[in-house]
Structure 1
Amino acid sequence: MTDAPLIGVRGEAVLEVEPEIARLSVHVQSQERDRRTALERLAERNQAALDLIRSYGDAIEKLDTGGLSITPRLRYGGRKEGEIRAYQGTVWIRLVVADFAVLGELVTRLGDLERTFVHGPDWGLRRDSEVYKRAAREAANEAVERARSYAEALGSRLTGLVELADEGLTRDTRPHTESVSLMAARGAADTGEPPPIDLEPATQIVRAAVEARFTATAPELG
């Protein structure tokens, strides 16, 4: 156990950066009187959505199917209450877009597909983003600088590190984060491609904090 004076400080860092990825959620639906027909229509629309997404190549970083359901819709009221009036099918598709230049076009083209619902984008950073490492380094550097400033104010200097505790990293977005929900509602006369939606990436705020204790030389308090 050392008798050297200890200086305890907290270091923080707040970084505002542009997002690296955008996540979209796509729901493809069908509703038919017959279960088999509902499944067939669902498979066709799901394939159309997947083909469209895959046509963007490397702009799509990740693509997977989140789940599938086929649900009977019952009648309510009247003599036929409780009977199955139709079957509704839904497929959930999740994708991560890395190239924001195509994002607005992709969102509107997906939303223009029959019985297809699009929600997003959810802006974010990759799990292994260098931004998190940079925030941690800056928080640690700030702790050192703060401790050094206190030591100098007392006429002493830092001599060693006793403890460094990470309080963790957090990420959030500015309040103006945009989210678009689209559902195709086309008529027979609709033709051509829909115009792309202008989507402005939401700034990501990454916070890091550490607590540190340093040993120091005896202060000159005289």
Structure 2
Amino acid sequence: MTTPHQPAPHHPTPEAPQVAVRGEARLEVDPEIARIAVTVSARGTDRAATLADLTRRNTHTLDLVKTYGEAVEKLETGAFSITPEPSKHGRGERVRAYQGTVHLTVELADFTALGELTTRLADLDLTRVDGPWWALRPDSPAYAEARRTAVTEAVHRARAYATALGTTLTALLELSDTDLAAPPGLTGGTMRMAFAAETAEAPPALDLEPQRQTVTAEVMARFTMAPPKL
């Protein structure tokens, strides 16, 4: 005796029709943090003297950043290098100069201090500043808000289909998060600047306008409906 085929779980049938929809959200929000990259350099004909000069410049730069207190959320030292520059003329391993660099990353949440600090850093001798790169924190509420908006959109869309058929939704079968991302960023558009200045007087602080960040979310949802009367 053949056993009648039983539908797989959640398999749509005339008695339990389903609707599958996509919910999407796209939010424009203010950035929460800004990062700048600082490259401190030194150059000289003596290796030890160049290293000592680089150490002095790096210490001065770190001390300057630390004067901004709680406005600076993160200060990290990256790559360090001291590189010999061989002589262009003559043979052998003659070195004409040494080039030293230290890379720093500074993260701020106080955008009022950002412009002033960026300008003061750029005014230091042999110092380069790149940035700012605007971003959201990994745990930003904007991500949760985007998810909620996407889910709400999915429910509204599914309900609209059910209404068009003269019926109603009865149950949620599946909800999956297909995509959630913030722009890369050092995320969401990037503005870069490079400075190399040596002036006697402190320059006026830069007026830096925070760049809005785009947060997107996408979900897939499946619902069952009461059988429509077609």
TM-score between the two structures when normalised by the length of structure 1: 0.93
Residue matched to 2:81: 69
Please provide the CA RMSD for this pair.
1.4
Larger radius of gyration: 2
Quick check: 1:63–1:96 contact (8 Å CA) kept in 2? yes
Residue 102 of structure 1, CA deviation: 1.0
TM-score between the two structures when normalised by the length of structure 2: 0.89
CA distance in 2: counterparts of 1:118 and 1:36, whole angstroms: 26
Superposed CA deviations along residues 109-132 of structure 1, whole A, max 9, x for unmatched, are: 000011110000000000110000
Residue 171 of structure 1, CA deviation: 1.9
Quick check: 1:74–1:81 contact (8 Å CA) kept in 2? no
Write the letter of the residue equivalent to 1:15: L
Pairing 1:183–2:196 present: yes
Write the letter of the residue equivalent to 2:40: V
* Within-5 A mapping of 1:71-220: 71-76=83-88, 78-80=89-91, 82-172=93-183, 177-184=190-197, 186=198, 190-220=199-229
CA distance in 1: counterparts of 2:115 and 2:133, whole angstroms: 13
Runs of 4+ off more than 6 Å: none
* Within-5 A mapping of 1:16-95: 16-76=28-88, 78-80=89-91, 82-95=93-106
CA distance in 2: counterparts of 1:218 and 1:174, whole angstroms: 45
CA distance in 2: counterparts of 1:71 and 1:199, whole angstroms: 34
- Kindly indicate which of the two structures has a greater share of residues assigned to strand: 1
CA distance in 1: counterparts of 2:93 and 2:48, whole angstroms: 20
CA distance in 2: counterparts of 1:179 and 1:219, whole angstroms: 57
CA distance in 1: counterparts of 2:178 and 2:188, whole angstroms: 22
Quick check: 1:178–1:200 contact (8 Å CA) kept in 2? no
- Seen in structure 2, the aligned counterparts of structure 1 residues 168 and 174 have a Cα distance that, compared at 3 Å, is closer
CA distance in 2: counterparts of 1:25 and 1:168, whole angstroms: 30
User: Which sections of structure 1, spanning at least 5 residues, go unmatched?
Assistant: none
Quick check: 2:135–2:188 contact (8 Å CA) kept in 1? no
